[in-house]
Structure 1
Amino acid sequence: MPLISLAQNKIVLNTDLGETIINKHIYGHFSEHLGRCIYGGLYAGEENKLVPHINGMRTDVVEALKNLNIPNLRWPGGCFADTYHWKDGIGPKEQRPTIVNTWWGNVTEDNSFGSHEFMELCRQLSTEPYFSANVGSGTVQEMSEWVQYMNFSGKSPMSDLRAENGHEEPFKVKYWGIGNETWGCGGNMTAEYYADLYKRYATYVNTSWDSKEKLFRIASGASDDDYHWTEVMMRDIPHKMLEGIGVHHYSVIDWADKGSATDFDENMYFTTMSRAWDMERLVQGHSTIMDKYDPEKKVAMMVDEWGGWYNVEPGTNGGFLYQQNTMRDAMIAGMTLNIFNNHADRVRMANIAQVVNVLQAVILTDEERIILTPTYHVMEMYKIHQDAVQIPIYLKTEDYIFGDKKLPAISASASKDDDGKVHVSVVNIDMNKSHKINLDLRGENFKNVSGRILSAPSIQDHNTFDNPNKITPQKFSGAKLINNKIDVVVPPFSVLVLELN
């Protein structure tokens, strides 16, 4: 039986003081032509007889993702984006040229999944597309023509080509990334060089034909704590040309040896949690710089790649980045989403990497079989925060102590939905102790509390194709509401979501 800390962990909720909306796009996802994310993950192909599909899109995966209410999906990369030439992926499939994916496994792809297929996937998911355009090996004209192909409603060479390929009406894609990781795989550029290049792209990539369909242009942002990069973007790019800036951060133990996804000890777990908690520092650091140049917070922070990264599963292609997903990943997801919720005034989009079969995936597939991972279940539990009003919280937490090191044990965020229901999400990352928490509810009176919890006997526990439901959310009845106060004991390494009305 786990130890129970009786120290005073306290959460104060001011339920009548909320002003900021938690943008639903914080709960976005990322799909790259990497391993089995697209082919075999999202896309079965129109000729597949084994896996049920609609127009080539896996029915089981689509239905599972729809249950998350995913607000946006980023594509086609990632590093792949800066080798991708969009015209290779349109028109009759038998006429499309092949491409060698030099970033991920050197596999040859037939370009059967391109812009039209991606938009069909987004249609089935009822989600907004987020295109990441080729800056590293592409041209301004190439991106400009892609925007025109996807969005222009009048007569032009690109809109005529789109009609020839079966879609007369424009797709109206709003979100466009101008390059990806341009400091690295997107061109190994300096911040100053990229800022000038960005302005050139942004000048010619526009929708001046229709003022109602303005693009949301996203600059390739910093890796981790490269604050100089953000400084240059905010200083050198006119804000009328810039709607968002990306930030990338992965919770990696050691880039030289990332460790096993399932076979890890407490030292490795604690290090991963430390890397995940870094997100709080990074968001604050980049926000401070953005506030300096944009005090009205018009430019959004877009954390368009985040998640856990481990060594690939034994026996799998090293370039496919396929890894299992344990309760450790549920801790990363719950903690990170709490951080984004609490900084929703600046963070207005985020994309977990990646949606299927790659890195911290919410879904794993094996031919016709499917697994919903612990991360999936956290995203499903947290979907109640999407477009809800952020509730300011005060959090006092005991530490999770490992040797001579320590981290905050408790992470939390809260929101109020359109029906007046208040939701509180709480994560206890402590691997050894349950934590007793007192919630003090201020601003209005509540009569009922209910909850759901994601927990497991072991931090290494995960769902498998032979046991896909080993870890699923369960009803939680351990919260007691008396005089607008709640006492609750949160088990080790667990995620709890409470609903109050």
Structure 2
Amino acid sequence: MTQSQSGSPATPAQASVALHTGRTIGEISPLIFGGFAEHMGRCIYEGIYDPESPLSDERGLRTDVMAALRETNYRIMRYPGGNFVSGYRWTDGIGPKADRPRRRALAWRSIETNQFGPHEFMDFARELGTEPMWAVNLGTGSIQEAADLVEYMNLPTGTLYSDLRAANGQQEPYGVKYWCLGNEMDGPWQIGQMDAATYAEKAVQASKLMRWMDPSIKTIACGSSATSMPGYPDWDLTVLNHAYDQIDYFSMHHYAANPYPTVSNTERLPLDTDSYLASSIHFAEHADTLAAAIRVAKAKNRSKRDVHLCWDEWNVWYRAKGGDGDWSEAPHILEEEYNLEDALVVATWLNTFLNKADVVKIACIAQIVNVIAPLMTRRDAMFRQTIFYPLTLFSNHAAGHALAALVRAPIHDTKRYGGVSQLDVSASFDEATGRGATFLVNRSQTEPLQVTVTWENGAPQAVTHAWQMSGPDPLAGNSFEAPDAVTAQAIAAPVLDGAHATLLLPPLSFTTLLSQHPQP
């Protein structure tokens, strides 16, 4: 806290947040609290699946990892890639494990043993209680192979692939609803890279054939791999215009970094934490651009259908670059170590999902274990990284409708975004339960902020719970040696003064408030 000349604490800056449970943005889809498990590094092997670990069950699933994943309450899980899927033969991962082939996974220059495949993933998803979201190979794969996979997973027995599923131990259909039509097909790093028009036509034909196989499925087309791609947003407009009536969701990917990378992505710039903590300006612009592209495509197609955004890769990722597995099994690659400022950026990203709840209906953090992930394992232990805490608080407490918060707060300057509010906010209200949640990030590195939250249409019965994570060092993180150095801690909930609650937000802090409201 800043000091006055007399040495006493100076009065902190003031901010206000006005909420009205009837002033809503849109219904919050539970599927925005999703994860991503790719055959990449140690996400699958030595992550969720490790038969050699003393912490694994008889199926090879890590029990400590499963417990932590349940804490986060993931509602949907994307699988098996990512870049990996563009060279993946799904038939490699079925049948007796002793007969499954070992292959070179070209995307990450590693060896894929195929000991974890479709049946193992579905067992994992069911154990976790999460909705599976499958990506099909549109790189080296054909539209027929994609349709065959839908038959294998979803159709009752009586034909070739559904009978093969039954022969492999699963008599009843799995009923996978959500299907990604490839991955990042505009990227030169992608196996089977295509231009937008070629991809759009292949996606249309794949979606059509897959839907003929099972009309109940929902399909997701690839958007640009990143806003920095030369083709953004022309790729997105081309794909949407051509495929609009054959898809249900449109994918978007982005990874935040400090500092923001240069165009060449090779020049190393000094850290710029003020701009980094304002990254949600970029997130919101990305969502707004693609939401506008969807509206244009809907109008051009004279369509009555709605397509929504699926932000199925998002996270902080910029230190642990380089995905060369050197042709090993479960290589230790892309194992990012997260800190406090990363957790605050993740919190503002989740704020963005709520504040764009009308258009963003699926989101998957990439990834869930070891590889740019909230959880890190070794054979005998696990710890939660800093980004675990905001993800878990949002997933467990944001429900119902997102509220349009009216925020007044000091403005501070950033090099990248200019003047930005010191306070980043989202809020939710679930009419069915009367529960509200408010999520607040103080972006300042040095200045506390006294915030008054007002419920304009009447006071809640109480502010029932509060949690906060903060600290003086934006680069502080957790490790196997100090697993709880930076966590979200329960704090005293602010006392209501009529319809107002006032609390002090430390610099570099994320705070969650829960409120209970009278039910009709």
Would you say same fold, with TM above 0.5? Answer: yes
Q: Aligned partners of 1:54, 1:277: CA distance in 2, in Å?
A: 46
String of CA shifts for 1:401-443, please: whole Å, max 9, x gaps: 3579543322111111231011101111222211222222112
Is 1:482 the equivalent of 2:497? Answer: yes
User: Which ranges of structure 2 fall in alignment gaps of 5 or more residues?
Assistant: 4-9, 326-330
For the residues of structure 2 that align with 1:168 and 1:362, how far apart are their CA atoms? 35
Compare 454-463 and 363-372 and name the one that shifted more: 454-463
Where 2:284 maps in the other structure, the secondary structure is helix
Match of 2:437 in 1: 423
Q: Distance in 2 between matches of 1:376 and 1:319?
A: 20
Q: CA, structure 1 residues 244+423, in 2 after alignment: closer, same or farther (shift >3 Å)?
A: same
- 1:150 corresponds in structure 2 to 153
Distance 1:375 1:180 in 2: 25
- 1:363-442 to 2 correspondence within 5 Å? 363-401=375-413, 405-417=418-430, 418-442=432-456
Is the contact made by 1:81 and 1:134 (CA closer than 8 Å) also made in structure 2?
Answer: yes
Identity of aligned residues (%): 29
Q: Alpha-carbon deviations, 1:123-159, whole Å to 9, x = none? A: 1100011111100111111111111000001311001
Given that 2:472 and 2:507 are in contact with CA atoms closer than 8 Å, whether structure 1 keeps it comes out as no
Residue in 2 that maps onto 1:217 = 219
Counterpart pick for 2:40 among 34, 42, 49: 34
In the alignment, residue 494 of structure 2 is paired with which amino acid?
A: A
Name the aligned partner's letter for residue 23 of structure 2.
L
Match of 1:328 in 2: 341
Is it true that 1:55 corresponds to 2:59 in the alignment? yes
CA distance 1:176–1:377, shift in 2 (3 Å):
same
TM-score by length of 2: 0.88
1:242 to 239, 247, 251: 247
Does 1:340 pair with 2:353?
Answer: yes
For residue 250 of structure 1, what is the amino acid of its counterpart? Y
Structure 1 position 183, deviation (Å): 0.4
Aligned with residue 261 of structure 2, among 234, 254, 261: 254
Separation in 1, partners of 2:354, 2:15: 20
Deviation, structure 1 residue 6: 3.8
Q: CA deviation at 1:55?
A: 1.1
Q: 1:231 to 1:299 in 2, by over 3 A?
A: same
2:224 partner letter:
A
C-alpha deviation, 1:325, in angstroms = 1.1
Q: Number of paired residues?
A: 487
- 1:217 is displaced (CA, Å) by 0.3
Question: What do residues 276-318 of structure 1 show as CA deviations (whole Å, max 9, x unaligned)?
Answer: 431011111111221233477721100111111122299x969
Contact 2:25–2:356, Cα closer than 8 Å, also in 1: no
Q: Is the 8 A contact 2:25 2:358 kept in 1?
A: no
Q: What secondary structure does 1:218 align onto?
A: strand
Distance in 2 (CA, whole Å) between partners of 1:69 and 1:488 is 28
Shift of 1:245: 0.4
Note the C-alpha offset of 1:384: 3.5
| Whole-angstrom distance in 1 between the partners of 2:267 and 2:81 | 22
Q: Secondary structure at the match of 1:206?
A: helix
CA drift of 1:238 comes to 4.0
The Cα of 1:18 is off from its aligned counterpart by 3.2
Partner of 1:57, secondary structure, is coil
Q: Helix, strand or coil: the match of 1:495?
A: strand
Letter in 1 for 2:283: M
- SS at structure 2 position matched to 1:67: helix
Cα distance in 2 between the residues matched to 1:294 and 1:485: 43
Q: Deviations over 1:220-244 (max 9, x none)?
A: 11233322222222221242x1100
Is it true that 1:91 corresponds to 2:95 in the alignment?
yes
TM-score in terms of structure 1 length: 0.91
CA contact (8 A) 2:374 2:386 kept: yes
1: distance between equivalents of 2:17 and 2:53? 53
Work out the CA distance in 2 between the residues paired with 1:76 and 1:284: 28
Distance 1:222 1:396, change over 3 A: farther
**Which letter does structure 2 place at the counterpart of 1:92?**
P
Deviation at 1:387, TM superposition (A): 4.0
Cα 1:2–1:138 change in 2 (3 A) is farther
Q: Is the 8 A contact 1:23 1:386 kept in 2?
A: no
Name the structure 2 match of 1:120. 123
Letter in 1 for 2:198: Y
Residue pair 2:219, 2:248 contacting (<8 A) in 1 also: yes
Q: Is the 8 Å Cα contact of residues 297 and 346 (structure 1) preserved in structure 2?
A: no
- The 2-side partners of 1:246 and 1:72 are apart by 15
Q: How does 1:167-206 map to 2 (within 5 A)?
A: 167-184=170-187, 185-206=190-211
| Per-residue deviation, residues 326-378 of structure 1 (Å, max 9, x unmatched) | 1122112100010011111110001111111112x110111111011111111
**8 Å Cα contact 1:10/1:397 also seen in 2:** yes
1:312 counterpart SS class: coil
Structure 1 residues 344, 19: closer, same or farther in 2, change over 3 A?
closer
Q: In structure 2, the residue corresponding to 1:12 is in which secondary structure?
A: strand
Q: Secondary structure at the match of 2:347?
A: helix
CA RMSD in angstroms, aligned pairs only: 2.4
Looking at structure 2, the residues matched to 80 and 363 of structure 1 have their Cα atoms a distance apart, in angstroms, of 21
Deviation at 1:478, TM superposition (A): 6.1
Matched, 1:69 2:76: no
TM-superposed deviation, 1:8? 3.9
Shift of the alpha carbon at 1:275? 4.0
Aligned partner of 1:351 in structure 2 is 364
| SS of 2:164 mapped into structure 1 | helix
* Residue number among 300, 308, 324 corresponding to 2:308 in the alignment: 300
Q: For each residue in 1:191-235, what CA deviation from the matched residue of structure 2 results, as whole angstroms up to 9, or x when unmatched?
A: 2221111111112112555x5xx1110001123332222222222
**Cα 1:233/1:164, change in 2 over 3 Å:** same
Further displaced range: 491-500 or 385-394: 385-394
1:2, distance to aligned residue in structure 2 (A): 5.7
Pick closer, same or farther for the CA change 1:31–1:152 going to 2, 3 Å: same
CA contact (8 A) 1:257 1:311 kept: no
How far does the alpha carbon of each residue in 1:250-288 deviate from its partner, in whole angstroms, 9 at most, with x for none? Answer: 1133263597xxxx97x3323433444310111111112
